[in-house]
Amino acid sequence: MTLQALNDWLARRGYPAYRAAQILSSAYRRRVPSFAAMSNLPQTLRSDLESEFCLPVLNPAVVAHSSDDTRKFLFRLEGDAAIEAVLIPDTPRLTLCISSQAGCGMGCTFCATARLNLQRNLSAAEIVGQVLAAQRQLLDQERISNLVFMGMGEPLANYAALLQAIEILTADWGVGLSGRRITVSTVGLVPQMKKLVSETPVQLAVSLSGTSDEQREALMPINRRYTLAELLGMCRELPIPQRRRITFEYVLLAGVNDSLADADRLARLLHGIRAKVNLLPFNPFLNAGYERPSDASVVAFQQRLLSRHLNATIRRSRGRDIQAACGQLALAQKVD
């Protein structure tokens, strides 16, 4: 629940409004396991809460450990659905990659999750529950510093639950993460992109991975609904704060979109946008139909972008040995 919703519930029963922040802080910050254990509340309120609500706890069914200390969590949900989340240590940051849907309906050909198709949207509780579950796996002194919606699903296709989850994740009475440390990735749902930037404090990442409509349509079917011109036109219009940039994610596929000509077209496409490019060398999965480009090819692509005055970084793949790297989440667990 959000603060306002709980305030309304309390008001209807004659409880003071300040109790809402106490309840939610106990649930999200202190992670109290039950309403009965919220000793700062009167017994009558605890009983009323117990009779109408539950404190759902999401526990991983499987935890897979990578040789590079990445951890992947498999969560089983109601209705036979399942999702994965990935905890990525990169000192001093500790990043959690979470899911917004079980499966995905966007059909990107280079992503293993797309092969699952869309099973269902997650609730706000299931989205936030991944964060709380990961935090319970950490040492007392460890804290998740960054959160990325880059796991299973298209976050903007589950917009209402995403918005509610972001409020809980960023609120003082909630998890208390800075909006600047939360990144939401999208394949390019143009109308929802504008809403997200206007209604939340989070960072936006756009999966691009193609430098022409023909190329992008073959890789990402969403391009048939929103062309590159429409997508990048919206990116130019977005009210991005002055000191921020839009991140464009570009999956490099050997012999498909990794030529220097592709790099030149990408630089032209992004001209005039406050942008940074995150290059993701393809992470293979079974029967993918694509190959990972050579390290030399990846570096050459980056250098061409840099020479065109475009901020470009190469994302280091983490957790590939447990199928936890970007594009590999497909409920395939490899456990030590």
Q: Give me the catalytic one of 97, 104, 111, 326.
A: 326
237 is catalytic: no
Q: pTM of the prediction?
A: 0.94
Q: Give me the catalytic one of 84, 154, 167, 249.
A: 84
CATH architecture, domain defined by 3-52: Orthogonal Bundle (1.10)
Summarize pLDDT for 239-293 with one digit per residue, the tens: 998 889 999 999 999 999 999 999 999 999 999 999 999 999 999 998 999 999 9
Q: What does the pLDDT average to over 33-43?
A: 95
Q: What pLDDT, on the 0 to 100 scale, is given for residue 233? A: 97
Q: What pLDDT, on the 0 to 100 scale, is given for residue 336? A: 40
Summarize pLDDT for 130-172 with one digit per residue, the tens: 999 999 999 878 899 999 999 999 999 999 999 999 999 999 9
Choices 3.40.50.10800, 3.40.50.12280, 3.20.20.70, 3.40.50.10470: CATH for 62-322: 3.20.20.70
List C-alpha distances in Å: 313 to 35, 171, 298, 303, 310: 46, 31, 10, 10, 10
Q: What pLDDT, on the 0 to 100 scale, is given for residue 328? A: 74
Of 34-48, 55-69, 150-164, the range with the lowest mean pLDDT is 55-69
Segments making up each domain of the chain, as ranges: 3-52, 62-322
Residue 332 has pLDDT above 90, yes or no: no
97 is catalytic: no
Q: What does the pLDDT average to over 327-334?
A: 70
Q: What does the pLDDT average to over 226-244?
A: 94
